[in-house]
């Protein structure tokens, strides 16, 4: 799964919907294998729109799970007009993280119920066993 996908996934257990801890899922950094998908081209306009939309604290949290503690605590802001060189560096870094980073294998856990979900062949499995579904 792409790093950015973590911003849209929550625990599948319905009871956890009443909790604020069902998102973001907590990734096990030691068990996660990452891969960079270099083929995806940098598109600053796409990045700006994504940053505008995402839940930034969740991005920071998942990045930290995976060993990246360099993100600013608050969402970066960009002037509407010309992007500066500095802006472009930030956007390129976020492209590398959000779009190009693929979690190939690994696991993630709900902070509320503790259920562990596995990622295999880049596909997260959020199906629940029958006793939880």
Partner 1 sequence: MLPTPHVSCDYDKVYEPSEDSFLLLDALEKDRAFLTQFLGSQGVNLVCEVGCGSGIVTTFMMQNNIPSKYSIYVPTDVNPWALESTVGTVQRNECGQRFFSPVRTNLVHSIREQEIDLLVFNPPYVPAETVPAVPQDWELDPTKVASEQRPDDWLDLALLGGDDGMVVTWQLLNNLDSFLSAKGVAYILFCARNKPLDVVKHMQEQGWQSELVEHRKAGWEVLSIYRFHR
> Which CB sits closer to partner 1, 80 or 85?
80
CA distance 16 to 23: 9
Provide, rounded to whole angstroms, the least separation between the CB of residue 83 and partner 1.
17
Which is it for the CA torsion 73, 113, 7, 96, positive or negative?
positive
Contact 75, 56 (CB under 8 A): yes
Task: Report the Cα 6 to chain-centroid distance in Å.
Answer: 4
Position 5 contacts partner 1 (CB under 8 A): yes
> Which CB sits closer to partner 1, 46 or 87?
46
Provide, rounded to whole angstroms, the least separation between the CB of residue 16 and partner 1.
11
CA distance 130 to 58: 29
> Which CB sits closer to partner 1, 69 or 111?
111
In the complex, which residues of this chain contact partner 1 (CB under 8 A)?
A: 1-2, 4-5, 8-12, 14, 17, 23, 39-41, 45-46, 49-50, 52-53, 99, 118, 120-130, 133
């Amino acid at each position: 799964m792409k790093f950015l996908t973590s911003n849209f996934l929550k625990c599948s257990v319905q009871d956890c919907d009443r909790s604020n801890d069902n998102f973001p899922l907590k990734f096990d950094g030691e068990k996660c294998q990452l891969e960079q998908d270099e083929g995806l081209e940098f598109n600053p306009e796409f990045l700006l729109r994504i940053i505008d939309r995402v839940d930034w604290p969740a991005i920071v949290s998942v990045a930290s799970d995976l060993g990246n503690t360099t993100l600013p605590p608050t969402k970066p802001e960009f002037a509407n007009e010309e992007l500066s060189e500095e802006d472009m560096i930030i956007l390129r870094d976020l492209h590398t993280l959000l779009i190009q980073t693929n979690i190939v294998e690994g696991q993630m856990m709900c902070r509320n119920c503790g259920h562990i979900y596995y990622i295999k062949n880049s596909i997260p499995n959020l199906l629940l066993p029958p006793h939880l579904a």
